[in-house]
Amino acid sequence: MKKANRTQRTDGEITRSRILDVAGELLAFTGFAETTNKMIAAKAEVDLASINYHFGSRNGLYQAVLVEAHRRLVSVQGLQQLVATEVPAREKLKALIEMLVESATADDGWHARVLSREILAPSSHLQTLLESEIPAKMPFILTILSEITAIPSGDPMLLRCLISVVAPCAMLLVVGRNVSRVADEIRHMPRRDLVDHLYTFAVGGLEAIGQSRSTPMHGAPQPAPMAVLTRAGKS
C-alpha cells in the first residue's frame, strides 16, 4: 500500500507540472482574460476537476503560474548558491545580472512573457509575488549590494540601491518582440554586451553611493557666496 501511495503522489506531481506548463504557455500568448480552464484542460489532456484539485480555482492556477515564472527568472536556490560562492561581491553582482539577462531575454520558455504581461497590466494577483517570492529573494541580493557598498542591511539607502540595480534588468521583461523598433534592437543585442553594460552602470552607481555615504559631507551643496554675504549682513 505504501508503494502505491508513493506512485500516486508521483503521478499527481507529474499532472500538476503538466497543467502548470500548459497554463503558462497559453497565458503567455493569450493572457489571463482570454485563457480559460477549459482551454488549459484540453491542451494538457486532463479534466477540469484536475485543475481544481491541484490549484483550487482559475485564480489559484494563475497565481501558481506567476510564482513559477518568477522562480524560473531567478530562484531562491540559485541566489543562495551565488551568495555562498567564494568570489568577490562584484563578481557575484555580475553573475546575478547575467542570470537575470539570460532569463529575461530567453527565446524558449513562457515565464518571461507571463511576467511581462503582469508587469505591463498588473492585476490583484501580483500581490502573490510581492508577498512570497520577492521577499524571499531580496535578502540575498541585498547581501551582495551591502558587500559592495559597505551599507548595512536595513538601511533604506541599500533598498534604493536594489531598485536601481534590478529595475533595468526587469525592464528587459517588457521589451517583447514586435513592441517597437527600439525594443527589437535591444532584444537583438548580444547578451554579453547587455550584461557588461548593466554591470558597469550598476557597479559604478553602487561605488558612488557607498563613497558618498562614507563621506557624507563630500559633495554636499554649499551656499552661494552672495547667500553667505546676505546672511552675514543680517547677523
Q: What is the CATH number of the domain that holds 155?
A: 1.10.357
Whether residue 151 is found in the same domain as residue 105? yes
Cα 111 from Cα 67, distance rounded (Å)? 10
- Mean per-residue pLDDT for 8-14? 76
User: 141 to each of 12, 40, 66, 123, how far by Cα in Å?
Assistant: 34, 35, 20, 26
Cα 160 from Cα 224, distance rounded (Å)? 30
**Does 171 fall in a domain?**
yes
Q: What mean pLDDT, rounded, does the chain reach?
A: 86
What are the pLDDT digits (tens) for 91-131?
999 999 999 999 888 877 899 889 988 988 899 999 999 99
Amino acid type, 228: V
pLDDT of residue 22: 97
Q: Is the pLDDT of residue 215 over 60?
A: yes
**Does 170 fall in a domain?**
yes
| % of the chain at pLDDT higher than 70 | 85
Distance of CA 114 to the CA centre of its chain: 12
Cα 215 from Cα 233, distance rounded (Å)? 31
Residues 6+ apart with CB under 8 A from 145: 93, 151, 158, 161, 162, 165, 206
User: 36 to each of 43, 49, 80, 147, 174, how far by Cα in Å?
Assistant: 11, 14, 36, 46, 24
What are the pLDDT digits (tens) for 30-50?
999 999 999 999 999 999 999
Q: Residue 12: which domain range?
A: 8-56
Of 97, 114, 92, nearest to 176 by C-alpha is 114
Whether residue 77 is found in the same domain as residue 176? yes
Cα 230 from Cα 95, distance rounded (Å)? 54
Q: In this predicted structure, which of 19-28, 49-58, 74-83, 103-112 has the lowest mean pLDDT? A: 103-112
**Does 187 fall in a domain?**
yes
Whether residue 41 is found in the same domain as residue 143? no
**Does 150 fall in a domain?**
yes
Query: What is the pTM (predicted TM-score) of this model?
Result: 0.81
